Homo-oligomer: A and B are copies of this chain.
Amino acid sequence: MISVVILGAGNVATHLFKAFEKADNISVNQWYNRHLKSIASYRNKVAITDNLDTLQIADMYILAVSDDAVAELSAQLPFENRLVLHTSGSVNVHDLDKKNRRGVLYPLQTFSKTADIDFSNVPICIETLHKPDYHIIKQLAVSIGSPAKKINSDQRRALHLAAVFVNNFTNQLYRIGHEITEAHGAEFDLLKPLILETANKIQTVSPYMAQTGPAKRGDKKTIKKHLNQLDKKQHQEIYKLLTAAIQETHASTWLSNRVSDNNSTKK
């Protein structure tokens, strides 16, 4: 049995609690939050507290709090030499107070308040300063059905940054798609299967191989048409910049297409 204390009451804390509760070999000994109100609805399922001095002994303490709160909260813990983890993609593991054994349990997924999470779709990236601690964290991850992966600080920082591109920035492109369709009385819903297929494709094909469209083809006529269609200057800038990025990525393909375009025009 792995015993855990959860600290924090945000989405990550709540989804972890629910997953731990379902697992056979994990026991959540206690759930701490500075405002009891946020976790009060769980009081029949787990011991809750807002007092750090009452924290019980456990195999690990998971600080699922905002990035800015990690250092201070870890310094306030009234014990030493225990395993203390944060869950952030961007906070340095050394920001945790060094009086305890430090590590990171970074669940690489987007968590919403409402939607249920299937943890088999949540890779758990594990970093530990004290090597032997890795195994119990991995066991914890496996117990909730998550793929576990040992990574270092540099890899975690890279994953967190890349996640902003593939999640937040991608979502903003969906938003722009929404704005463009709405502005012309077209249904955004018609794009949803395409959005899903674009994400699906990448599960088995590299983004490089999956690319299509006017930028990759070097189709100047369509690119020009599209730029004229865009009312918003910001959308034009994003179109230009991402088109340039695609063309740089596929420079060789693009040049050979231009050559074959010229050939077919001559014909």
- Among B112, B162, B176, B177, contact of A181 (Cβ-Cβ < 8 Å): B162
Residues of B within 8 A of A259 (CB): none
Decide yes or no: A157 and B229 within 8 Å by CB, A166-B195, A172-B246, A249-B175 being known contacts: yes
Interface residues of A in 123-154 (CB under 8 A from B): 123, 125, 149, 151, 154
Assembly CA distance A54 to B156 (angstroms): 63
Q: At the interface, is chain A mostly helix, strand, loop or mixed? A: helix
- Among B171, B180, B202, contact of A192 (Cβ-Cβ < 8 Å): B202
Task: Determine if A170 and B168 form an interchain contact, defined as CB atoms under 8 angstroms apart.
Answer: no
Assembly CA distance A175 to B205 (angstroms): 11
Is there a chain B Cβ closer than 8 Å to A25's Cβ? no
Residues of B within 8 A of A216 (CB): 168
User: Measured between C-beta atoms, what is the minimum distance from A266 to chain B in Å?
Assistant: 14
Residues of B within 8 A of A110 (CB): 194, 197-198, 201, 212
Decide yes or no: A245 and B249 within 8 Å by CB, A110-B212, A155-B184, A173-B165 being known contacts: no
Is there a chain B Cβ closer than 8 Å to A164's Cβ? yes
Task: Determine if B238 and A190 form an interchain contact, defined as CB atoms under 8 angstroms apart.
Answer: no
Decide yes or no: A191 and B246 within 8 Å by CB, A168-B215, A241-B237 being known contacts: no
Is there a chain B Cβ closer than 8 Å to A29's Cβ? no
Residue on B with the closest CB to A174? B207
- Among B168, B175, B198, B241, contact of A238 (Cβ-Cβ < 8 Å): B241
- Among B164, B180, B203, contact of A165 (Cβ-Cβ < 8 Å): B180
Residue on B with the closest CB to A164? B213
Decide yes or no: A191 and B115 within 8 Å by CB, A177-B166, A207-B172, A216-B168 being known contacts: no
